[in-house]
Amino acid sequence: MVVRMGDPTPIVTALDRAGYRLTEPRRSLASLIADQAGHFTAAELVDAARRRHLGVGRATVFRTLDVLEDLGAVERLDLPSGEHAYVGCEPAHHHHVVCSNCGRASEIADVGLRPILREVARQTGYRVDDHRLELFGLCPACLAARPRPTSITA
């Protein structure tokens, strides 16, 4: 296990900077997550780890995802289906558009939600502390692949 082709993933770096130990399981998971094209569930990570015989336990996957979510290295999505999924991401407040076909997710920087939040606060009297905005649709690739929704269908 000497050949560690020197590329600490951003996740590993984040863990390190936050003072977490860089253990083998965490490195493995970081690398697995880096490989994910779209969003992924905890269960999928567990499977992926088992398939590659990485010897990472289920509990560790959950624990690591929790840590990573705290660090903002990963964000938890609530899919319309009710499932919880994750996407790797940069640690800054932002939102995602999630492709409902392939699961790929793109980050959106600032969508100018601020004024809306302020307006809501004014209307309702709530102090709005936190929010979650999730967008679902089709990514450019899936849009292109799909023959275009003519109204032929009945």
Partner DNA sequence: GGCGAAATGAGACTCTGTCTCATCTGTGCT
Partner DNA sequence: AGCACAGATGAGACAGAGTCTCATTTCGCC
Element (H, E) at 88: strand 84-88
Q: Is the dihedral of CA 126, 132, 137, 139 positive or negative?
A: positive
Backbone angles phi, psi at 81, to 5 degrees: -70, -10
Using the rule CB under 8 A, is 130 a contact of a copy of itself? yes
Structure tokens at 55: 């010897």
Residue 65 gets which letter from DSSP? H
The residue (of 65 and 99) whose beta carbon lies closer to DNA is 65
The residue (of 26 and 39) whose beta carbon lies closer to DNA is 26
Using the rule CB under 8 A, is 116 a contact of a copy of itself? yes
- Residue 24 binds: one of a copy of itself, DNA, none (C-beta under 5 to 8 A by kind): DNA
Residues that bind DNA (CB under 7 A): 16, 20-26, 41-43, 55-60, 62-64, 66, 82, 84
Using the rule CB under 8 A, is 138 a contact of a copy of itself? yes
Interatomic CA distance for residues 137 and 97, integer angstroms? 7
Q: Are strands 105-108 and 95-99 parallel, antiparallel or unpaired?
A: antiparallel
Using the rule CB under 8 A, is 31 a contact of a copy of itself? no
Binding stretches for a copy of itself (CB under 8 A): 76, 78, 80, 82, 84, 97, 99-100, 106, 108, 111-113, 116-117, 119-121, 123-140, 143
